[in-house]
A and B are shown apart, each in its own frame.
Chain A
């Protein structure tokens, strides 16, 4: 089976930096994805890492270490609109995406 661990909640102030860690145990591994979901909305894709290293997309960056079965999502220059839930997800070998339970990020003024 699949197992993904991420913190349940993170709170930070506007302008700060937040790092959301994700550790995984999966039977197969093709890569680590990150999704954002605002309250009442649909999940939207943020980033994907198939290889070790850092991927940067604007204020958001994602990192992967396959040897450590670990990745993180880095949110920089936090804005109020970044208040949302963030999910890590791993694709296993059977055409399935397995999601973590999600991290709720609250940004305070």
Chain B
């Protein structure tokens, strides 16, 4: 199993550009989530999904969209990038909502918006 994979590893965007961060898992996990990590602020939840076709907002959803058309994939879209979205983005998954306490994280995408 590859676990949770994320692409790209690094990305530089100009203000106003849009892009999609890819996340995939091959463990047949129902629950998937996106976090952003900024220095000194821990991990903040952007969006999450409890299964294919179901998504909901986390703590900091503004400026981001998600969709979950398959169990495996959970892409994160930045609609119009802003410097405040410069961060490290992690995708994570767990077998189900009952196992939410143990999430498996991808390697992260380091995004810089200039």
Q: Which residues of A contact B (CB under 8 A)?
A: 8, 30-31, 33, 41-45, 48, 50, 87, 89, 91, 94-102
Contact = CB atoms under 8 A, between A and B. Distances in A.
B97 A45 contact: no
B101 A97 contact: yes
A45 B42 contact: no
Interface in B15-71: 31, 33, 35, 40-45, 48, 50, 56, 58-59
Contact of A102 (B33, B42, B58): B42
Contact of A30 (B31, B92, B101): B101
Given A42-B108, A87-B43, A95 B50 contact: yes
A98 B97 CA distance: 14
A98 B45 contact: yes
13 contacts: A41-B107, A42-B105, A43-B103, A43-B105, A89-B43, A91-B100, A95-B50, A95-B56, A96-B48, A97-B45, A99-B44, A101-B42, A102-B42
Given A42-B108, A96-B58, A87 B42 contact: yes
B90 interface: yes
A97 B44 CA distance: 9
Contact of B43 (A8, A30, A44, A99): A99
A71 B82 CA distance: 37
A58 B97 CA distance: 27
Contacts of A91: 100-101
A42 B108 CA distance: 7
Nearest to B6: A42
B75 interface: no
Contacts of A45: 101-104
Contacts of A102: 40, 42
B100 A95 contact: yes
A94 B2 CA distance: 29
B100 A100 contact: no
Contacts of A98: 45, 59
Contacts of B50: 95
